[in-house]
Amino acid sequence: VIEDHFDIAYELEDTLRSRSKGGALKLLEAIRPMPGTTSFTRQQEPLGLGHAIWCARDIIGDEPFAILLPDMLMKSEPGCLSQMVEVYNERGGNVISVEEVPDDQTHNYGIVEVDGDVSAKTFSITGMVEKPAPGTAPTNLFINGRYILQPKIFELLENQETGAGGEIQLTDAMLALMGLEPFTGLRFEGETYDCGSKSGFLAANIAYALEDEELASELRPLLSAMLNT
């Protein structure tokens, strides 16, 4: 479905053309990737995030790469990954983006342990744990879904045993990689919407809609009427 979404939709585009819907056609063309610029793989079974990443090993090959979990929408200027690339260009190794989460939500995420000042913009990561039991998280800094990793991770994922939730966890493989290579944490400043929760998904829709001038002018009065009843 995702591959098709980014491909030419012949019937749809032909219908739009025959009905002179040039604006919609232009929009489709603008978001279509250039031929040959995307590659896809399949995770045949839902065995965990670590397993999903491992399924891309042949596409990535022997070079550092970025992971963006698409259910985490992040808004900032410059973008989160740009900020991370800057840190990576200075320090190399592995870079992950983190931000603070309230105590009662740490069990929903991967949580890092850091060396030095927790409030700094960047820090060395000294440990990490996937979905710690409530009350046991080492910090409030959660892994928010953007990573720059070295290809060594694939060797570790290959033999990674199942962890939290009975799944092959990327966090566990990163913990093993931490014994071999440095990990830098970057504190992300911006807005993050976790679309893995219903309320996060709804909030993201509203936030992005309010950024669109035309939509915002229709949406604002509707929202304020709802909030006032």
- The smaller minimum CB distance to ligand G1P, of residues 50 and 93, is found at 50
Which residue type sits at 58? D
Pick from 16, 49, 73, 74 the residue near ligand G1P by CB under 6 A: 49
Residue 142 interacting with ligand G1P (CB under 6 A) = yes
Identify which of residues 93 and 145 has a Cβ nearer to ligand G1P in the complex.
145
Per the CB < 8 A criterion, the answer to whether 120 and 179 are in contact is no
Please report, as a single letter, which amino acid is at residue 192: T
Alpha carbon distance 134, 3 (integer Å): 39
CA 130 – CA 176 distance, rounded (Å): 13
Of residues 21 and 131, the one with the C-beta less far from ligand G1P:
131
Q: Which is nearer to ligand G1P, 60 or 175 (CB)?
A: 175
Which amino acid, one-letter code, is at 39? S
Out of 83, 150, 171, 184, the only residue in the binding site for ligand G1P (CB under 6 A) is 171
Q: How far is the CB of 72 from ligand G1P (least distance, A)?
A: 5
CB of 144 to ligand G1P, least distance (A): 6
Q: Is 163 in the site for ligand G1P (CB under 6 A)?
A: no
CA 134, CA 175: separation in Å to the nearest integer? 20
**Residues 101-130: x where in contact with ligand G1P by CB under 6 A, - otherwise, as a string:** --------xx-------------------x
Q: From CA 76, how far away is CA 84, in angstroms rounded?
A: 12
Pure H helices in the chain:
2-5, 10-18, 22-31, 49-54, 57-60, 80-91, 152-158, 170-178, 198-210, 213-227
Does 147 sit near ligand G1P (CB under 6 A)? Answer: no
Residue placing its CB nearer to ligand G1P in the complex, 73 or 87: 73
Q: Which is nearer to ligand G1P, 16 or 147 (CB)?
A: 147
185: contact with ligand G1P by CB under 6 A: no
Number of amino acids touching ligand G1P (CB under 6 A):
14
Q: Is 157 exposed, middle or buried (0-12, 13-18, 19+ CB in 10 A)?
A: buried
Strand partners, 130: 110
Q: Taking contact as CB under 6 A, which single stretch among the options 84-92, 119-127, 140-148, 202-210 is the one that binds ligand G1P? A: 140-148
Distance from C-alpha of 141 to C-alpha of 121, rounded to nearest angstrom:
12
Binding site for ligand G1P (CB under 6 A): 49, 69, 72, 109-110, 130, 142-145, 169-171, 196
